[in-house]
Amino acid sequence: MAPHANGNGKAKSPARVRAAPEPKENIFLFYPNMIGYSRIVLAVASLYYMPLHPRTCSILYSISCLLDALDGYAARYFHQSTKFGAVLDMVTDRCTTACLLVFLGSAFPRWSIVFQMLISLDLASHYMHMYATLSMGGSDQSHKKIADGRPWIMKVYYSNNKVLFTFCLFNELFFIALYLLSFSSPILSPSLLQTSPSTLQPGSPAAPKPSVLFTSPWSAGAMEMARANKMDSQIPWTLAGISVLFMLIKQYINVIQLIEASKWLAEGDVEERRKLGLPKKKKAA
């Protein structure tokens, strides 16, 4: 196109159309990730109330768990599914569950090894599964997409959001029920009492304050005495009975997930070694 002339006879080039800069997205401020941050705040608040306030702790912890479904819905609705959000969601789930199991290990010392094994299984299976998915499945592969040939129970578990949410919900409900049961035990374990001479005087009440028996109100014995007989055990036992089967199946899925992730990584190692020409054949003598 020929340049235009202005009133002074000088050529005037047409104005260049500047392309509008593309908006830069802030992944950290996506709606599902904001919900994830609120879950962390609620979880930390529940940990603060966990030692002595079972009702407040259970409410805060339960809301944090229920928001786990909302962030997934928000990610799909607003088209804001991200790898950061997926990892944030998984890490939050693992950390909150681990913190609750740590408390249960201290509340039920004889079963502490069981809770320690549950923590290890939960962390190991999910870490192995996500690592195998990211390293073997490609950059666009989600840890919730289970390839054909994998166990059907994992495909059902990860492909249906309702199934996934139900098992996660009842798994956490079982541990919450155990947590509430630690506040309804009618017997104070004598082994937690200090052996130092008692400061009780004649005429002291039958149920003295923990400060009379224990030098530190945060000692194991003082905390157990403060927890004892705080609530009726009927509701916790009912919740535990309803959710125990889901919890056991969830642990079985964790075992399968750990085994399958290990196999997937081993398959990748075999293929990588084959490309490198390993193992090298020994030369004939």
Tokens 């200090």 locate to: 194
Phi, psi of 174, rounded to the nearest 5 degrees? -65, -45
Asked if 107 and 182 count as a contact pair (C-beta separation under 8 A), the reply is yes
Look at 185 and 276; give whichever has higher pLDDT: 276
**Is the pLDDT reported for residue 278 higher than 70?**
yes
Examine residue 38 and state whether it is found in any structural domain, yes or no. yes
Lowest mean pLDDT segment, chosen from 73-77, 121-125, 206-210: 206-210
CATH number of the domain enclosing 236: 1.20.120
Examine residue 194 and state whether it is found in any structural domain, yes or no. no
Choosing from 93, 122, 140, 269, the catalytic residue is 93
∠ CA 111-43-114, nearest 5°, is: 15
71 is catalytic: no
Asked if 170 and 243 count as a contact pair (C-beta separation under 8 A), the reply is yes
**Is the pLDDT reported for residue 204 higher than 80?**
no
**Is the pLDDT reported for residue 244 higher than 90?**
yes
Examine residue 13 and state whether it is found in any structural domain, yes or no. no
Examine residue 215 and state whether it is found in any structural domain, yes or no. no
**Is the pLDDT reported for residue 220 higher than 80?**
no
| 128: confidence class by pLDDT, cuts 50, 70, 90 | very high
The arithmetic mean of pLDDT across residues 254-275, rounded, is 92
Examine residue 178 and state whether it is found in any structural domain, yes or no. yes
* Mean pLDDT of all residues belonging to the chain: 82
Examine residue 8 and state whether it is found in any structural domain, yes or no. no
The arithmetic mean of pLDDT across residues 24-46, rounded, is 96
User: Could you give the percent of the chain with pLDDT greater than 70?
Assistant: 72
> How many other CB atoms sit within 10 Å of the CB of residue 76?
11
Examine residue 95 and state whether it is found in any structural domain, yes or no. yes
pTM: 0.77
Question: Nearest-CA neighbor of 93 among 125, 138, 48, 131?
Answer: 125
Full domain range(s) for residue 80:
27-187+220-275
**Is the pLDDT reported for residue 187 higher than 50?**
no
Q: Using alpha carbons only, how large is the chain's radius of gyration in Å? A: 29
Examine residue 12 and state whether it is found in any structural domain, yes or no. no
| 233: confidence class by pLDDT, cuts 50, 70, 90 | confident
Query: What's the distance, CA 278 to chain centroid?
Result: 39
Cα separation, 226 vs 30, in Å, equals: 42
Q: How many domains does the chain have?
A: 1
